[in-house]
Structure 1
């Protein structure tokens, strides 16, 4: 983080302190991140989720979704 404060994870309504000044993102199995996307420290991407290219991501993204560049979240069809 640029401000050198500790990274916190947001999970639902809870905020969890990591005790770390530096941390990347947590990616679920089969998650796909598009080119030139930015994942902020402590971002959590759910299993089988896709992030479109050029998207800035923060917080928690649920499993089985598509996150578009404009920030909209679309549930994947399970077939």
Structure 2
């Protein structure tokens, strides 16, 4: 059961971080200086993490992923 709970927890964490980054992305800091973190890049990495966790959950469920199981096969 932990093999399902841990990736689902990571998905929830990445969604929360992505929502916070979305709130912070368009706003300047309170002192008027630009943001030190690139919130758009943080959102992109969160989407990448969500994608990896979904693929991991699909592999746990028994659906095999990868280029050898794709429609076009390996090149």
TM-score interval, normalised by the smaller of the two chains: under 0.3
Higher normalized helix content (fraction of residues): 2
TM-score, normalised to structure 1, is: 0.20
**Structure of higher RCO (CA pairs closer than 8 Å, 6+ residues apart):** 2
TM-score, normalised to structure 2, is: 0.20
Query: Whose radius of gyration is greater, 1 or 2?
Result: 2
